[in-house]
Amino acid sequence: MAVMAASDFLVLLSHGVLYYFWLQNDVPYAVCKIGTFVFYFSVHLSVALLVAMTMEKWIGIKYPLQSAVWITRYGIIFSSKLFSYVKDTC
C-alpha cells in the first residue's frame, strides 16, 4: 500500500510541476518529457499494483487453503510476467 501511495503522489507531483511551468508559459523540453514519463509510469504502476492486490485477494477468497502456497510459489513468476507485459505495452 505504501508503494501505491508513493505512485499516486508521483502523479500529483508530476502534474504540479508541469502546471507550474505551464502557468509561466515556459515549459522546458526536458521537464515536459520527464514529467510526462513520470506521470504515465506512475499511472501504469498504480494500475499494475491494484491488479496484483486484487488477484491476491481473489485467490485468498476463492482458494483459502492453497492460497498461502500459491501466492509464495507463483507470486514471483506472476509478478515478473505482469511487469514484462506492462513494460512491453508502454
- What's the domain range around 16? 2-89
The per-residue pLDDT for 73 is 66
In total, how many domains does the chain have? 1
Residue reference for cell 512491453: 88
| Dihedral sign of CA atoms 25, 26, 27, 31 in order | negative
Instruction: Give the Cα separation of 74 and 38 in Å (integer).
Output: 29
pLDDT score recorded for residue 65: 81
Per-residue pLDDT in tens (0 to 9) along the chain, 90 residues = 777 788 888 888 887 877 777 778 877 888 778 888 888 888 888 888 888 888 888 888 888 887 777 777 676 677 677 667 766 776
77 CB burial (10 A radius; 0-12, 13-18, 19+): exposed
pLDDT at 90: 60
